[in-house]
Amino acid sequence: MQRRRTDPMKWYGFTLLELLVVIAIIAILAALLFPALARAKEKAQGVSCINNLKQLMTAMTLYTGDNHELFPPNPDDGNTIPGYNWCSGNAGIGQPQEFDPDVLADPTRSLLITYMGGNVKVFRCPADRRQGIYQGSNPALAGRTVPAARTYSMNQAVGTVDPGFEGIGSSHSGVPNLPVSGPWLSGTYLSNHHNDPWATCGKASSIGPLGPSMLWVLVGENASGLNDAAFAFEMVDPGWLDAPGSYHAGACGIAFADGHAQIHKWLKKPQDHSSANATDWGWMQQRTSARVGNDH
């Protein structure tokens, strides 16, 4: 029987042209798939953000039910004094509580956390990409990189303050059972007072002229201006004092007094202490407060 001979120099790999064709096909498929995957990720983060806000609003509702319908303290000063802030500390870029989740876990300084089973992750929008070195006091986390502690802030026209802080905004004393003044609503600090001229809301049972479905309570704030957990907004001129975030492809999460939450898209990316797109600002103005008193 004659045996077949094979050429030891012959092999059957891909040619350069064939490899280039395969690479080109992979590149085309990647270009088609990556945008779809990015959109899917954005959508998932949006759903998670809405869930976080709904959990916070559920906790807010439970808190008001246990406290004579009073909203938690919202004093606009970032204080960490037990009992005087719904969410203590300053959590913006470079701030002392930016990467400190401990203050959020403390039920005396984070008055909603008891109603959330201690889950501090709810205070952060999942699309907030900030990471940094842990700033708390837990030795097990010392030196570790952690996500930002908080993204959400509370409408400055909603909440309570104590008699010591009300009006002068310098110290805290007494029970926080007075409606907030909404200090920036008129555009100049401390020029507004409860319902004079712009409405503020201290009780869940007396929301005021906007009604629960129109009054926003929590918003994902722009990290560049995020400090205390009270969101300053002026009702007079179309500009941002504190700016809402744009974490979701130019949009941010926002929650309302009736408990519902949504992702709202901005026409122009908001920036702190700058003019605002009139439509964006008008949308926020209609949902922040309403005029009920007389100008001084």
Mean pLDDT of 228-232: 97
Residue 31 lies in a domain: no
Quick check: is 19 in a domain?
no
Residue 39 lies in a domain: no
Summarize pLDDT for 139-174 with one digit per residue, the tens: 999 999 999 999 999 999 999 999 999 766 678 999
pLDDT computed for residue 65 by the predictor: 97
User: What pTM was computed for the model?
Assistant: 0.85
> Which comes out higher in pLDDT, residue 135 or 15?
135
Element holding 9 (H helix, E strand): none
Give the closest residue to 207 by CA, choosing from 157, 281, 261, 282.
157
Compute the distance between CA of residue 251 and CA of residue 230 in angstroms, rounded to an integer: 20
The phi and psi torsions of 155 (rounded to 5 degrees) equal -50, 125
Maximum Cα–Cα distance across the chain: 115
Range of the domain at 278: 48-288
Q: Is residue 20 part of a domain?
A: no
Q: Mean pLDDT over residues 177-196, rounded?
A: 93
pLDDT score at 296: 42
Q: How many domains does the chain have?
A: 1
Coil, helix or strand at residue 147: strand
190 assigned to some structural domain: yes
Asked, for residue 126, whether it belongs to a domain, the answer is: yes
Express each pLDDT in 74-128 by its tens digit.
999 999 999 999 999 999 999 999 999 999 999 999 999 999 999 999 999 999 9
Output the CA torsion 198→199→200→205 (10° steps): 180
Neighbours of 49 (CB within 10 A): 29
**pLDDT score recorded for residue 294:** 52
